A and B are shown apart, each in its own frame.
Chain A
């Protein structure tokens, strides 16, 4: 029997960009009003974590950092089958850049105890940096596999395929290890009825829920507040510019029948030059 693995998965709640809620007329986002969702990339990380548990045995801990409402995505993770959740929530984390975020998250990871693997999404859809995963690995002194699209354990070692420019690399690594999962990994499976039922039951029994979902702050995890939030961030957004309208004079075709619009478009552009003639 393989030994059960301690598997961590890092997840983040992000604004849902497909919804128009919370989008100000000037194009900026009102995060308080915007709809919230689990970062789409994290769905692949969650799948990798759960698949590893189901295949090799073990326990999955989902870890997140965010406002108290971010507990929503941890409940979602519970429905999918994770075993316990930890939310790091602290006002002093506001305005953390990737370095400060990675500092805080590596402290939660340490607080959660021993682990064999940490799965993260490749990146988030709100920050888009793909930096936090590797920065946590650096702070924990771990090897890492980024852009991972296939993951298995053989003889106690991780076997993974990762995307590189124009191809893939097959790697073998000692544990513990941090993995950022690409969106070419398997889709997250549907929640089981059992999982959904369990979470409904837990919500009616807060004392049981609190055994599985802990909320911690910087003091609990022993993080230095000076290294978090605005103070701990080496970068700041100093200035934002409206993006100028390029082109700006789009010739519009509307209100006519589709064939008429298409005919007019073909007439007024050089599109025909590119059409195959044979």
Chain B
């Protein structure tokens, strides 16, 4: 493969690392639709891919798979794709791992050079498909990135001499590292495509430019018998109950400090004091089964930007913080004055959630009655 062949030796001295100047490849986005609805994360990824391709001086490629895709390819071009590969086939109408995997691997194998970078959404589909593609090509994949960039890297470790060298154009896949207040930059310059996924809402799409020109190429769909071992019998779309987390103006979030699942009733009561409010949770309490996954905010949950975020009994691990740090006002309630949440909240009450929240509700009620009594006095 291209990336591992040293093309130039930087010098003859033992200290200088070989420079791996490889041709700069394109940036591929594997877009996603569900029942003909283009998923917003695809446009966000094209936005990110445009920045990366700009730095590499190469093009943004996009692959969309489905059936009766209509104007989706044009929309992908309008949002920044230079070439859109379209796999439009009845067997691709609903997402299934094996047929989609087949189309992606066939397309990549038909390219004279693999793309430099391949990006997917960190959705239930992207997280199902991306690892299979990466394993098939034996290439690196970084999940749930919060930032992407292109830059140089010097590999000095001599454990594996074939990896030694300077790599001028690596994908920097940046994600918070486990349980730590650290951001890890993960690289894999030895093999292309260098792959990453990002959660919906993290990257920023480009505005649509309907005049933008791009190539649209139909790709052949050659499925094999073994791709049909799994069949979709039915798809159930959930009717969203209540306001969507990502659309709420006010979010009341609970963490392990709520003590138990019943503790969330208190949060629901507090949420009831606000218009356009929703309940969120930290990863830990979702893992414990106190509240369903759809309420999870953070690196492996949703990214939210409400006007007001009230974090109750949440310690504020980096994984949670990356999902809500762009909220306009962050209020934290925690009895531990050293909780990391106080390092990034705007207002922090040190106290027991079971005393502070009822008091908040009480004072809101009082204020409401105050408003009513003013009205009555007229």
> Which A positions have Cβ atoms within 8 angstroms of B?
15, 17-18, 23, 26-29, 40-41, 97-99, 102, 123, 125-135, 137-139, 141, 143-147, 159, 162-174, 177, 182-184, 187, 230-231, 233-243, 245-248, 250-255, 258-259, 261-263, 265-266, 268-272, 274-277
Say whether B319 faces chain A, with CB atoms less than 8 Å apart: yes
20 contacts between A and B (CB under 8 A): A28-B182, A129-B131, A130-B127, A131-B131, A144-B97, A164-B95, A165-B34, A166-B238, A169-B236, A183-B293, A230-B159, A234-B190, A235-B188, A236-B187, A246-B344, A250-B348, A251-B347, A255-B350, A262-B349, A274-B249
Say whether B360 faces chain A, with CB atoms less than 8 Å apart: yes
Whether the pair A262, B363 counts as a contact (CB closer than 8 A) is yes
Whether the pair A171, B135 counts as a contact (CB closer than 8 A) is no
Whether the pair A243, B182 counts as a contact (CB closer than 8 A) is yes
In the bound complex, CA of A121 to CA of B18 (Å): 41
In the bound complex, CA of A135 to CA of B186 (Å): 19
Whether the pair B293, A250 counts as a contact (CB closer than 8 A) is no
Whether the pair A165, B125 counts as a contact (CB closer than 8 A) is yes
Contact pattern, B 332-361, Cβ under 8 Å of A = 1, otherwise 0: 100001000011111111110001100110
Q: A252-B348, A254-B350, A259-B359 are in contact. Are A243 and B181 (CB under 8 A)?
A: yes
Whether the pair B236, A184 counts as a contact (CB closer than 8 A) is no
Across the A-B interface, give the 9 residue pairs with the lowest CB-CB distance, nearest first: A235-B140, A234-B140, A254-B350, A138-B135, A134-B131, A173-B230, A131-B131, A235-B188, A129-B143
Whether the pair A143, B131 counts as a contact (CB closer than 8 A) is no
Q: A252-B342, A258-B355 are in contact. Are A143 and B273 (CB under 8 A)?
A: no
Q: A143-B97, A241-B185, A275-B273 are in contact. Are A262 and B140 (CB under 8 A)?
A: no
Stretch at the interface among B111-119, B203-211, B215-223, B281-289: B281-289
In the bound complex, CA of A258 to CA of B274 (Å): 21
| 6 new A-B contacts at CB < 8 Å, known A183-B289, A252-B348 | A131-B130, A162-B124, A177-B230, A183-B287, A265-B347, A276-B272
Stretch at the interface among B45-53, B69-77, B171-179: B171-179
Whether the pair A164, B34 counts as a contact (CB closer than 8 A) is yes
In the bound complex, CA of A262 to CA of B299 (Å): 30
Whether the pair B233, A27 counts as a contact (CB closer than 8 A) is no
> In terms of DSSP, what is the predominant structure of the interface of chain B?
mixed
Nearest-CB residue, chain A, relative to B173:
A235
Whether the pair A250, B179 counts as a contact (CB closer than 8 A) is no
Say whether B314 faces chain A, with CB atoms less than 8 Å apart: no
Q: A165-B34, A254-B351 are in contact. Are A18 and B180 (CB under 8 A)?
A: no
Interface residues of B in 118-136 (CB under 8 A from A): 123-125, 127-132, 134-136
In the bound complex, CA of A136 to CA of B363 (Å): 55
Stretch at the interface among B55-63, B79-87, B323-331: B323-331
Whether the pair B351, A261 counts as a contact (CB closer than 8 A) is yes
What chain A residues lie within 8 Å of B128 (beta carbons)? 134, 144, 146-147
The listed residue (A143, A168, A250) touching B332 by CB distance below 8 A is A250
What chain B residues lie within 8 Å of A239 (beta carbons)? 184-185
Nearest-CB residue, chain A, relative to B175:
A128
Interface residues on B, range: 35 or more
Whether the pair B134, A127 counts as a contact (CB closer than 8 A) is no
Q: A170-B236, A237-B177, A241-B182 are in contact. Are A129 and B144 (CB under 8 A)?
A: yes
Q: Identify which of B97, B130, B226, B232 gathers the most chain A CB atoms within 10 Å of its CB.
A: B97
In the bound complex, CA of A41 to CA of B332 (Å): 28
Nearest-CB residue, chain A, relative to B196:
A235
Whether the pair B230, A171 counts as a contact (CB closer than 8 A) is yes
Nearest-CB residue, chain B, relative to A168:
B236
Nearest-CB residue, chain B, relative to A233:
B140
What chain A residues lie within 8 Å of B141 (beta carbons)? 98-99, 129, 131, 235
What chain B residues lie within 8 Å of A131 (beta carbons)? 127, 130-131, 134, 141, 143
In the bound complex, CA of A144 to CA of B250 (Å): 38
Whether the pair A128, B319 counts as a contact (CB closer than 8 A) is yes
Whether the pair A250, B345 counts as a contact (CB closer than 8 A) is yes
Say whether B378 faces chain A, with CB atoms less than 8 Å apart: no
What chain B residues lie within 8 Å of A254 (beta carbons)? 337, 348-351
Query: Chain B nearest CB: distance from A181 CB in Å?
Result: 13
Say whether B142 faces chain A, with CB atoms less than 8 Å apart: yes
Whether the pair A240, B182 counts as a contact (CB closer than 8 A) is yes
Query: Chain A nearest CB: distance from B371 CB in Å?
Result: 6
Nearest-CB residue, chain B, relative to A249:
B346
In the bound complex, CA of A255 to CA of B345 (Å): 18
Say whether B15 faces chain A, with CB atoms less than 8 Å apart: no
Contact pattern, B 154-194, Cβ under 8 Å of A = 1, otherwise 0: 01010110000000000001001111111111111011000
Whether the pair A170, B34 counts as a contact (CB closer than 8 A) is no
Whether the pair A237, B184 counts as a contact (CB closer than 8 A) is yes
In the bound complex, CA of A163 to CA of B346 (Å): 36
Contact pattern, B 239-269, Cβ under 8 Å of A = 1, otherwise 0: 0100000000110000010000000000000
What chain A residues lie within 8 Å of B233 (beta carbons)? 159, 170-172
Whether the pair B371, A277 counts as a contact (CB closer than 8 A) is yes
Q: A28-B182, A165-B125, A237-B177 are in contact. Are A258 and B356 (CB under 8 A)?
A: yes
In the bound complex, CA of A160 to CA of B283 (Å): 25
Nearest-CB residue, chain B, relative to A97:
B140
Q: A237-B185, A262-B363 are in contact. Are A40 and B235 (CB under 8 A)?
A: no
Q: A28-B182, A29-B179, A248-B344 are in contact. Are A187 and B289 (CB under 8 A)?
A: yes
Say whether B308 faces chain A, with CB atoms less than 8 Å apart: yes
Whether the pair B124, A146 counts as a contact (CB closer than 8 A) is yes
Nearest-CB residue, chain B, relative to A185:
B289
What chain B residues lie within 8 Å of A238 (beta carbons)? 153, 185-187
Say whether B8 faces chain A, with CB atoms less than 8 Å apart: no
Whether the pair A253, B185 counts as a contact (CB closer than 8 A) is no
Q: A170-B232, A234-B191, A237-B186 are in contact. Are A274 and B307 (CB under 8 A)?
A: yes
Query: Chain B nearest CB: distance from A242 CB in Å?
Result: 6
In the bound complex, CA of A133 to CA of B135 (Å): 11
Whether the pair B135, A134 counts as a contact (CB closer than 8 A) is yes
The listed residue (B135, B283, B287, B350) touching A99 by CB distance below 8 A is B135
